[in-house]
Structure 1
Amino acid sequence: MKNLLSMKDIKVNEIEMILTRALEFQQNSPHQLKKQMTVANLFFEPSTRTKMSFEMAERKLGLHVLPFDAGTSSTTKGETLYDTVKTLESIGVDAVVIRHEQNGFYEELMSGLNIAIINGGDGSGQHPSQSLLDLYTIKQEFGKFEGLEVTIVGDIAHSRVAKSNAQALSNLGAHVTFLCPKEWQGEFESTSSWEDVLPTADVVMLLRVQHERHAKENELPNQLYHEKFGLTKARYDQLKSTAIILHPAPVNRDVEIASDLVESEKSRIFKQMQNGVFVRMAILESVLKERF
């Protein structure tokens, strides 16, 4: 796998290989790559989990991490993303992890470059590394995907996590249902009733409400959202005993989920973050081994 850009491009066998390798890393498989290599993390949008998780993964693999600050880079002077990445390639960087507000930013990087590109999130498009760590967490819990009932709840239209997971989970044999306000369903058919999904859901995947991407007419006050679409204690109590809760974070407590439930027995929210390091190690190794 030369790049990781979208879950639309990754085959089922490639997903399984990454998940298997992540498990080996978690079980203390040797971490160091065969060759000293350099990576740079280019984050043009705010990030805590993805950026820090990639950096931890890079350091565990023995990679040299070249610092990059978007706010002081030449992109503020009008330099194109292509020219920035070409510059990094020219000085010897082997791979870049990029988060960018533009959907499909990577399309302009697909010719003229010989550097591995990992999509760390593009606008409201795709977030493949988050999807893979979500899949890893689900498989860790259930040992399979076939036949699982997965409910994705929240700001579907603006969520790169929803789009990435819908594609991957369906390909792996899970049944995916969407729960959200109708104006937030985007390209997907959805329900607006928790009663349609509570009795059967194996996985409830909550999404952050992305106020920064909303038109004013589609805004929903936090308290009203929580009452209608948030995971409240009453709804939590109706879930199956084996059900789990996921959230890519950051979490808006008492909006998408009642604050007391973030670290509840069914929650795997912080487990996802832990798993993200092993999955991102597997992703980095996969794209970089093409260059050994």
Structure 2
Amino acid sequence: MRDFQLRPDGGLRHLLTLEGLPRRTLEQLLDRAQALRDEAYSGVSLRGRLAGHTVCNLFFEPSTRTRSSFQLAAARMGADVLNFDAASASTKKGETDLDTLKTLRAMGVDAFVIRHAHDGAVAALAEKSGGASLINAGDGRSAHPTQGLLDMLTLRQRKGDDFGSLRVLMVGDILHSRVARSDLHAMRTLGVGEIRVCGPGNLLPDDEVLAGCERVASLDEALAGVDAVFMLRLQRERMVEGLVASLDDYFRDYGLTPARLRRAAHGAIVLHPGPMNRGVEIDDAVADGAQAVILDQVANGVAVRMAVLEAVLEPEPQATTAFGPWCRA
């Protein structure tokens, strides 16, 4: 997959997963996103950067945050943006996913941002993309690479770039979470010193997914001394009934409260990919508290997606960055 995502010169062709990408590629994307933070809010100086390119948000599954973020990112860079809700359009008429993509590619679309309910669907489309670049905006349980990047950017902003010194905890429904997988891929590549996971046994994936992680049964024990806590939403739309006895029981055992958070290291931060189930995996006082960086994650999402779009569409940056050759392994 790594080789398929990269151009012959090492530049980024597609972004389908963070798994296997070189550490240098991830670091360059994070560096570029950091440099783009001001432009991500309301800047206009880069409106010509991707002028003449067309980006299609091709979503086979509903989304609010991710699609809006990609739309803003493309607009900030001056690309033409086409929002195509495949879930309520062509596919309901019997058209295949690939035929939908080919049709839009024939209209001059250069890059597709794709969300899909099925594992591996975006990679399968990338193999027949006709020269267009594909960016995975979340597929099944497999991956959500731009979320993984924005989470790492938020972590680095608050805790510095010495990932090896960090102790990080991931809590909740890891089994059904594509965000968790991309976060784990990124943390391993960037060399996070200690990764702990905690959640109901039937919501934790197999050992291959959790390679290098320490499983801790008790949330109180898992929180001890950690620098960052990644809380995950219960993916009730992806799970069969009965995996959680009740939401009240889940909050009792795995909900993050102010009292529990005090077990973490001083200055520990709390992350959540959203949308949050308040009172299920996270208490209001934590979600809205000073240690939560959830809105920082949202803001960083636009900058990260600007960096990714630039990387796949304009591999050689102009003088807007001092970070050297763009996304070379």
TM surpasses 0.5:
yes
Query: Is the alpha carbon distance of 1:235 and 1:289 closer, same or farther for their aligned partners in structure 2, counting shifts above 3 Å?
Result: same
Kindly state the Cα deviation for residue 19 of structure 1 after the two structures are TM-superposed.
0.7
Report matched runs for 1:1-292 at 5 Å: 1-28=12-39, 30-32=45-47, 33=49, 35-112=51-128, 113-144=130-161, 145-174=163-192, 175-187=194-206, 188=210, 190-290=215-315
Q: Aligned with 2:36: secondary structure?
A: helix
Report the more deviating stretch, 65-74 or 267-276: 65-74
> What are the Cα deviations for residues 257-286 of structure 1, in whole angstroms up to 9, with x where unaligned?
001211201000111001111111001100
Q: Which whole-Å CA distance do the structure 1 matches of 2:245 and 2:165 have between them?
A: 33
Q: Which whole-Å CA distance do the structure 2 matches of 1:237 and 1:124 have between them?
A: 31
Contact kept? 1:226, 1:232, Cα under 8 Å: no
Kindly state the Cα deviation for residue 206 of structure 1 after the two structures are TM-superposed.
0.3
One-letter amino acid matched to 1:50: T
Kindly state the Cα deviation for residue 217 of structure 1 after the two structures are TM-superposed.
2.8
Unaligned stretches of 5+ residues in structure 1: none
Contact kept? 2:268, 2:291, Cα under 8 Å: yes
Q: Aligned with 2:70: secondary structure?
A: helix
> What are the Cα deviations for residues 227-251 of structure 1, in whole angstroms up to 9, with x where unaligned?
1001012102222222000000000
Contact kept? 2:126, 2:134, Cα under 8 Å: no
Contact kept? 2:257, 2:285, Cα under 8 Å: no
Q: Aligned with 1:227: secondary structure?
A: helix
> What are the Cα deviations for residues 109-167 of structure 1, in whole angstroms up to 9, with x where unaligned?
23332111000000111000000000000010111212211100000110111111111
> What are the Cα deviations for residues 2-24 of structure 1, in whole angstroms up to 9, with x where unaligned?
10000114211111111111111
- How many residue pairs align between the two structures? 292
Contact kept? 1:245, 1:269, Cα under 8 Å: yes
> What are the Cα deviations for residues 47-90 of structure 1, in whole angstroms up to 9, with x where unaligned?
11111111111110111111312244211122221111111111
% identity of equivalent residues: 41
Kindly state the Cα deviation for residue 289 of structure 1 after the two structures are TM-superposed.
1.0
2:323 match: none
Contact kept? 2:110, 2:133, Cα under 8 Å: yes
Kindly state the Cα deviation for residue 290 of structure 1 after the two structures are TM-superposed.
4.4
One-letter amino acid matched to 2:57: N
One-letter amino acid matched to 2:132: I
Contact kept? 1:211, 1:219, Cα under 8 Å: no
Q: Which whole-Å CA distance do the structure 2 matches of 1:200 and 1:260 have between them?
A: 20
Q: Which whole-Å CA distance do the structure 2 matches of 1:82 and 1:107 have between them?
A: 12
Q: Which whole-Å CA distance do the structure 1 matches of 2:65 and 2:167 have between them?
A: 26
Contact kept? 2:170, 2:197, Cα under 8 Å: yes
Unaligned stretches of 5+ residues in structure 2: 1-11, 318-329
> What are the Cα deviations for residues 181-205 of structure 1, in whole angstroms up to 9, with x where unaligned?
0111112362221232222211100
One-letter amino acid matched to 2:202: E
Contact kept? 1:25, 1:31, Cα under 8 Å: no
Q: Aligned with 2:277: secondary structure?
A: coil
Q: Which whole-Å CA distance do the structure 1 matches of 2:82 and 2:278 have between them?
A: 34
